[in-house]
Amino acid sequence: MAFLLDTNVLLWAAIGKSDLGRRAANIVMREPNLYYSAISVAELTMKQQAGKLRMAPSFVDDLANQGFKRLGFNDQHALAITRFGSLVGHDPFDRLIVAQAAAENYQLVTADRMLLSLGFDWILDARV
């Protein structure tokens, strides 16, 4: 089984923030197939450029050193966006990441209430 962390969860996991629930923390600490999206790197970079976030220049390298694997974005992921019409108007980064998880058959770990409300058993609450 593989897990994709959304951007907020990735940031929490990378910096050791305690917002992760027990189950999510266990996934982050124990699962060997733990992925982050290249989309998350783009989102975090944009937030840094806007002055909303500070990241070390080595942040991406640090992710690999912590055992996280990068998942690139491809055409299959882009086409999977159509499966989530109810998310039109929702944060575009979240829409891309949920499409990636669906296309790859990965479990998505998120704290985003809108994504959790979709009711899919493969979307896991990061606060649990």
Asked if residue 68 lies in contact with residue 35, where contact means CB atoms within 8 angstroms, the answer is yes
For the beta carbon of residue 69, count every other beta carbon within 10 angstroms.
13
Among 12-21, 29-38, 100-109, the least confident range: 12-21
Res 42: pLDDT = 97
Q: Tell how far CA 22 is from the center of its chain.
A: 17
Asked if residue 14 lies in contact with residue 62, where contact means CB atoms within 8 angstroms, the answer is yes
pLDDT at 114 over 90: yes
Res 115: pLDDT = 97
pLDDT at 15 over 90: no
Predicted model pTM: 0.95
Provide Rg for the chain, Cα atoms: 14
- CA dist 43 and 31 (Å) reads 24
Percent of the chain that is helix, strand, coil (3-state, to 5): 50, 15, 35
Res 109: pLDDT = 98
pLDDT at 10 over 90: yes
Strands (E), 1-128: 3-5, 34-37, 69-71, 107-110, 123-125
Percent above pLDDT 90 for the chain: 93
Token match 């499966």: residue? 83
CATH number (3.40.50.2020, 3.40.50.1980, 3.40.50.1010, 3.10.310.30) of 3-125 reads 3.40.50.1010
- pLDDT (average), residues 48-66: 92
The band of 63, judged by pLDDT with boundaries at 50, 70 and 90, is very high
Res 84: pLDDT = 97
- pLDDT (average), residues 102-116: 98
